[in-house]
Amino acid sequence: MTEEKFIQAITDTLAGEKKRNFVESVDVAFNLKGVDLNDPNKRINDEISLPNGRGKDMKIGVFARGPEFASAANSSGANRVISSEDLDDLADDKRKARKFSSEFDYFLAETTMMADIGKSLGVVLGPRGKMPRPVPPSADLNRLVTGLQNIVPLRSKDKSTFHVPIGTNAMSNDNLAENLEMVVKRVISHLDRGDQNLASVWVKTTMGKAVRVV
């Protein structure tokens, strides 16, 4: 697949789009073939940092116990700092914990809290792919929070069809095309037969038509 093919796919996807009063997401949908996804070793479970970002801000929560770590978290650009007391409160109310989980895209956590988070919220965060990333004391929390703004998950689970966000329709065609190319090539790298395991690849906006890439 050439660079021109990805650019054309994005151009066709955005061409003639109706103007709406909100920014639409742009996603790529993969349909796999000849892959035994009942075998967990054959499933795609990866993440990628998009070269041009996601075109919108991700909501990030940071679990912090120690005062120094909490102070760093407060100045890191994270949307919320979750204390040990907050964690105990969430552990006692599963409905509240589920609502809490849906409000954030990613979590980071002080390493000393990981065991408690797993015990208290593992059943809520785990299935949603939102278990926190442990942060060692020497890590640059600002850099980690900033880096998460560009991360997208690549997860097929046990389904032959899965979606990956690559940006929004407010981004330039070239930036979207570059994001698309990187995601497609990363997915292909996980397949035993490369692009021969792709039945089709489509791109679409939230409300728009789907355009076939492959």
Long-range CB contact pairs, 78-86, < 8 A, 24+: 78/108, 78/145, 79/104, 80/104, 84/113, 84/116
The model's confidence at residue 21, banded by pLDDT at 50, 70 and 90, is: confident
pLDDT of 20 reads 83
pLDDT tens-digit map of 147-190: 999 999 999 999 999 999 999 999 999 999 999 999 999 999 99
The model's confidence at residue 18, banded by pLDDT at 50, 70 and 90, is: confident
The model's confidence at residue 109, banded by pLDDT at 50, 70 and 90, is: very high
Q: 153 and 15 in contact (C-beta within 8 Å)? A: no
Share of the chain above pLDDT 90, in %: 91
Q: For all residues of the chain together, what is the average pLDDT?
A: 94
pLDDT of 138 reads 87
pLDDT tens-digit map of 41-75: 999 999 999 999 999 999 999 999 999 999 999 99
- The mean pLDDT value for 96-112 works out to 96
* One CATH from 3.30.450.40, 3.40.50.300, 3.40.50.410, 3.40.50.790 for 60-148: 3.40.50.790
The model's confidence at residue 137, banded by pLDDT at 50, 70 and 90, is: confident
- The mean pLDDT value for 18-32 works out to 92
Q: What superfamily would CATH give domain 3-55+150-212?
A: Ribosomal protein L1/L10, rRNA-binding domain (3.30.190.20)
pLDDT of 17 reads 76
Query: What is the domain partition of the chain in residue ranges?
Result: 3-55+150-212, 60-148
pLDDT tops 80 at residue 1: no
pLDDT of 200 reads 97
